[in-house]
Structure 1
Amino acid sequence: MNRGLSRKERLRKTYEFLQVKSNGVSIRQAPFWIQAHENFSGPSKLGVIATKRLGNAVARNQAKRLIRELFRKHKHNLPFTMHLVVLPRRSIFQTPFTNLETLFIDALNKASNRL
């Protein structure tokens, strides 16, 4: 059983990221920013943008793994299907995972209320 995200659950094309950025809402938390856009067909999708400002390749990959795990564990809590773009910040590494979960759920709820 594969517990990761399938290709159908990931934003992969540039136009998908741009669509979320231009038409969605932005929620800022300390460890990450979430941009969300309502999706009318298909499953919820996740895209992660980890820039070099976050750190070296090891740090960027660790942040992406944390975000993907948060999405995987809580995608069933979404009230409707969404496209999400998450931009991790440096404080993601100092925040315990349980706090990241509560902040992520809170951000998803705020985003769904604003859409």
Structure 2
Amino acid sequence: MKKLALVVAFLLLASLFQPLTARNLEIDVFQLDVAQSGCPGVTKNQWPELLGVPANFAKQTIQKENPKITDVPYVLNGSPVTLDFRCDRVRLFVNVLDIVVQTPRVT
């Protein structure tokens, strides 16, 4: 039982440090401009100010700022995702505590 408590404590502490390291390691493979994306009505394509905030708050903010965004799934950081582009989707990459660890953007 003591080992389980230590493992849980370690995982919680590790997840708290993940947002700090994710900011430094985030690499943009390509930058997609809203005007070039062909997404009518999308006025904003990324939200760097939502990095490190709870996922529920980030989802509400994105949908309030841009009603054209209807699909905002939570994705555990490091999980595989499809590479298709959709104008109505913003993926929220979160850690185990549902904290956003990558800049949300239209994908």
Indicate the TM-score class for this superposition, using the shorter chain for normalisation: under 0.3
Question: Could you say which structure has the larger radius of gyration?
Answer: 2
Hey, which of these two has a bigger chunk of helix by percent?
A: 1
Higher relative contact order, structure no. (Cα contacts within 8 Å, ≥ 6 residues apart): 1
Hey, which of these two has a bigger chunk of strand by percent?
A: 1
TM-score, length-normalised on structure 1?
Answer: 0.27
TM-score, length-normalised on structure 2?
Answer: 0.28
